[in-house]
Amino acid sequence: MVAQVSAQETHDIRELLGSRTTVALITTGAFIATYGLVAVTTSPPGSFWHEFAAWLIISLAAVTLVTAQGDPLPTPPAILLAGSGVVAANLVFLVIDPPVAGLQLWPLTAATAVYTYMFVRGRALWGWIGMIGVVSSCMLWAERNGLGYLIGLQTSMVNLAPVVMATFFVWRIRPAVRQIFELREQATLRVAAEAADKAVLEERNRRLIQLDDLARPLLERLAGSDPLTEEDRLTARLLEAHLRDTLRAPALATPAISAAINATRSRGVEVVMLDDSGLDHKPDSVRKRLLDSVRDALDGADTGTLTIRVLPPHRDALLTILHSTPESVTRLEFGHDGNLMEPPPSEPTTSPSVPLSTPSEP
């Protein structure tokens, strides 16, 4: 079976950018610490809480950009990120007055970094909305303090350059990123298909080797000129039944069970093995308990027909053993923990014999 590849895992640009690596986390931490230091050292007297709130908003935005899943970035966090820079800038604009040092306007550069990365995460429209909001806030702040709209525009204009470059990234690079994801997915599917084909070939070769070891001596004996003995006929019947068991009940085809089945059939007991895949994903402890129970049933059968069946998944019972003799019919059921289940009160484990035209199946 070809493994299914999750689009969420293969089409997340964070995988390509390394956003889940330790280096990305260290870089995010350095970004947060740097702007925390700038906010503390450049804040005017009495403006601590405004600066702290602005820094906290920018920090949460940076963490969200790195950790939010999905490509493109989901709409709810994209809207919050677009407003984060505007809110942080206005919080600082409320407490600073001209003339100002360049670092006192740190929310402009911090918001620009957030919006630039939003472009990378596939949210160019919301990035531009946020950047326009920051520039407009800077112009209103400059006008309110007597500097005029033009000064505010000039002050924030330098921060548009990274956003313009991010726009180019969206326009030219993201299509290439999608192609990279598609090629990666195709390569993953191809490798999975090759692995599945290889597993099939290996299983076929293993079965051929096993068949050669089991059947070749008997086939050479049949091809000879000497007459067949009763022992040869018994060996042929046992081999045919064993090969049928390996196809119809692969979960029960262990060396110990196969040896017990041959011994039981040699005593004249008809053994029917069936497997409907209920054991495929069970732990080894459950499998061992069931196989031990199957071997005990085989060792204890001397007459009649013994039918052993692994039930399909999601049944109440996991395995049933039905032993039909001329005197009685005994049915045992084993649960998903590998232990024997108590029979319903209305269904005794042993009942009078009834005529059977064909081997019973549980």
pLDDT above 90 (res 108): yes
Do you know the residue count of the chain? 362
More confident residue, 255 or 35: 35
Burial of 60-98, coded b for 16+ CB within 10 Å and e otherwise, reads ebbebbbebebbbbeeebbebbbebbbbbbbbbbebbee
DSSP per-residue string spanning 315-337: SS-SEEEEEE-SSEEEEEEE-TT
Look up residue 273 and give its DSSP letter.
E
pLDDT above 70 (res 330): yes
Question: pLDDT tens digit string along 183-242?
Answer: 878 888 889 888 888 888 887 887 677 667 767 776 777 777 777 777 777 777 777 777
pLDDT recorded at residue 188: 85
Contact (Cβ atoms closer than 8 angstroms) between residue 231 and residue 218: no
Rounded to whole angstroms, how far apart are CA atoms 35 and 54? 10
Question: pLDDT tens digit string along 274-328?
Answer: 998 889 888 999 999 999 999 999 999 999 999 999 999 889 999 999 999 988 9
User: What is the average per-residue pLDDT within 268-277?
Assistant: 90
| pLDDT band, very low/low/confident/very high, at 352 (cuts 50, 70, 90) | very low
pLDDT recorded at residue 6: 44
HSE value, Cβ hemisphere, 13 Å, CA-based, for 136: 9
Rounded to whole angstroms, how far apart are CA atoms 131 and 133? 5
pLDDT above 80 (res 67): yes
Lowest mean pLDDT, pick from 21-30, 37-46, 129-138, 260-269: 21-30
Cβ partners under 8 Å of residue 239, min gap 6: 214, 215, 218
Q: What residue spans define the domains of the chain?
A: 7-186, 246-352
| pLDDT band, very low/low/confident/very high, at 350 (cuts 50, 70, 90) | very low
Distance of CA 258 to CAs 60, 212, 217, 254, Å?
64, 17, 18, 6
More confident residue, 57 or 177: 57
pLDDT above 50 (res 8): no
Question: pLDDT tens digit string along 142-194?
Answer: 999 988 999 989 888 888 888 888 888 777 777 777 777 778 788 888 898 88
Query: Which has the closest alpha carbon to 155: 134, 132, 141, 138?
Result: 138
pLDDT recorded at residue 344: 61
Contact (Cβ atoms closer than 8 angstroms) between residue 42 and residue 100: no
Cβ partners under 8 Å of residue 204, min gap 6: none
Residue type at 152 in one-letter notation: G
